[in-house]
C-alpha cells in the first residue's frame, strides 16, 4: 500500500467549494436575474396580427394590440425594459427615410400605446434610419451610395425628438455615425428633455449575425452594399474602447456592445476600462443558432440558454437584450 506523505497531495483543493449546491451558490462570482433582461419586440401595423419570422422560430412581428398583451406579460414576469423595433410598410420607405421623423410613425404609436396602459416598464427606442430607408442603410446616402455622416445626424436628432415626445424613456442610437451622441444629447437638452437617457450602441460591429433581424424588419430588402464603412470591423477590439470613450465624453449614459457572445471579450474590456453601465445584445443570429439547435434536440436548450446569458454577466454586462427574455424570466422564476 502506498501511503501519502507530506507534499504528495495539494493542501489547497478547489473542489471543496464545489461539493454541494448551497456552497456553489454561496461562492458564485456571477449571477443572472430577471432584472438583467431587456426584451426586444417587433411591432407591425394592423390589428390582431402575428406574423411569424421564419429565421427566428417562436418570434413574431406583432400588431400594437398583441404587442401590448406581450409587454404586459413581460411586466408581470418582472422584466424591467422592452426595446421596440418597427416593421415599416415598404410603401413608406424612401431614400431619405423621412418616415423616421413622422410623429405618427409605427414606433411612436407603439410607444404611446404602452404609456397609455401605464405599464411599469422602461421603453427603449432604436435611433437609426435603416427601418425607413428604401436602400436599407442606417443613414442618408449620396448619388454613388456613400453613407453621409453629418446630414444623417441632423435627421437622427429629429427622430430622437419624436420618439421622446411619444414617451420613449431611453434613446438608443445604433447607427454608428461619428458624433451623433453629442448632437442628440444637445438636441434633447435644448428641447427640455435633459432627463432622457442615452444608451449608445457604441461598439456595433459589421456582423453576419444580424441576418434574421434584417429579415424581421425588412431592412435587408434593397440593401445594395454592406455597412462596413460605419459599423466596426470584427477584427478590432481596442478601437471599441475609443468608440466608447468618445460616446461617454459626448453624453452617453450607458453603452452597448453588439453582437453579444462572439464579442464578450469586448464587453469585458469596456466594463473594466470605464466601469459604466454596459449592455450587450444577444442578437438574432445568436438566437437562431440556439433555437434551431434546441429544436433539433442537438443541445439542452434551457441549460445552454441560461449558461449563455450567465457568460454575458461574467464578462461584465449589466443588461442583456435577448429575444429569449420572457422564456428566461419564466425559468428564473
E-strand stretches of 13-138: 37-44, 50-52, 60-63, 81-86, 122-127
**β-pair type (319-322, 278-282):** parallel
Cβ(202)–Cβ(228) below 8 Å = no
**Would you give the DSSP letter of residue 224?**
-
Give the torsion through C-alpha atoms of 282, 102, 117, 329, to 10 deg. Answer: 0
Euclidean distance between CA atoms 171 and 115, whole angstroms: 16
Q: Which of 204, 227, 271, 313 is catalytic?
A: 204
Euclidean distance between CA atoms 145 and 148, whole angstroms: 9
Annotation marks residue 228 as catalytic: no
Q: Which of 115, 227, 228, 258 is catalytic?
A: 258
- Residue among 213, 39, 210 at smallest CA distance from 124: 39
Rg of the Cα trace of the chain? 22
Block residue for cell numbers 500500500: 1
Q: Is the peptide bond before 55 cis (omega within 30 degrees of 0)?
A: no
Side-chain-side CA neighbours of 272 within 13 Å: the count stands at 9
Block residue for cell numbers 396580427: 49
Helices 238-250 and 180-190: angle between axes, nearest 10 degrees: 20
**Cell of residue 81, nine digits:** 425594459
Longest Cα–Cα distance of the chain, Å, equals 85
- Give the three-state DSSP class for 56: coil
Block residue for cell numbers 444623417: 152
Annotation marks residue 258 as catalytic: yes
Catalytic positions? 204, 258
Amino acid at each position: 500500500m502506498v501511503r501519502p506523505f507530506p507534499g504528495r497531495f495539494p493542501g489547497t483543493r478547489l473542489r471543496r467549494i464545489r461539493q454541494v449546491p448551497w456552497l456553489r451558490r454561496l461562492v458564485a462570482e456571477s449571477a443572472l436575474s430577471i432584472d438583467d433582461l431587456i426584451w426586444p419586440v417587433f411591432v407591425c401595423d394592423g390589428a390582431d396580427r402575428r406574423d411569424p419570422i421564419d429565421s427566428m422560430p417562436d418570434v413574431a412581428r406583432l400588431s400594437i394590440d398583441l404587442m401590448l398583451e406581450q409587454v404586459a406579460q413581460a411586466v408581470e414576469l418582472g422584466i424591467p425594459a422592452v426595446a421596440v423595433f418597427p416593421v415599416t410598410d415598404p410603401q413608406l420607405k424612401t431614400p431619405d427615410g423621412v418616415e423616421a421623423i413622422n410623429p405618427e410613425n409605427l414606433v411612436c404609436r407603439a410607444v404611446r400605446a404602452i404609456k397609455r396602459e401605464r405599464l411599469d416598464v422602461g421603453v427603449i427606442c432604436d435611433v437609426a434610419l435603416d427601418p425607413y430607408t428604401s436602400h436599407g442603410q442606417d443613414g442618408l446616402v449620396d448619388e454613388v451610395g456613400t453613407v453621409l455622416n453629418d446630414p444623417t445626424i441632423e435627421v437622427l436628432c429629429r427622430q430622437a425628438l419624436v420618439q421622446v415626445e411619444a414617451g420613449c424613456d431611453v434613446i438608443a442610437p445604433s447607427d454608428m455615425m461619428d458624433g451623433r451622441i453629442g448632437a442628440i444629447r444637445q438636441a434633447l437638452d435644448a428641447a427640455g428633455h435633459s432627463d432622457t437617457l442615452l444608451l449608445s450602441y457604441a461598439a456595433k460591429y459589421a456582423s453576419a449575425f444580424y441576418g434574421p433581424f434584417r429579415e424581421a424588419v425588412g431592412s435587408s430588402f434593397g440593401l445594395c452594399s454592406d455597412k462596413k464603412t460605419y459599423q466596426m470591423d470584427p477584427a478590432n477590439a481596442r478601437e471599441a474602447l475609443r468608440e466608447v470613450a468618445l460616446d461617454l465624453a459626448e453624453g452617453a449614459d450607458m453603452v452597448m456592445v453588439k453582437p453579444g457572445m462572439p464579442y464578450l471579450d469586448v464587453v469585458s474590456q469596456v466594463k473594466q476600462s470605464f466601469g459604466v453601465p454596459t449592455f450587450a445584445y444577444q442578437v438574432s443570429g445568436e438566437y437562431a443558432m440556439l433555437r434551431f439547435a434546441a429544436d433539433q434536440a442537438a443541445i439542452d436548450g434551457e441549460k445552454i440558454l441560461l449558461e449563455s446569458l450567465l457568460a454575458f454577466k461574467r464578462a461584465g454586462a449589466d443588461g442583456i437584450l435577448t429575444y429569449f427574455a420572457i422564456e428566461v424570466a419564466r425559468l428564473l422564476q
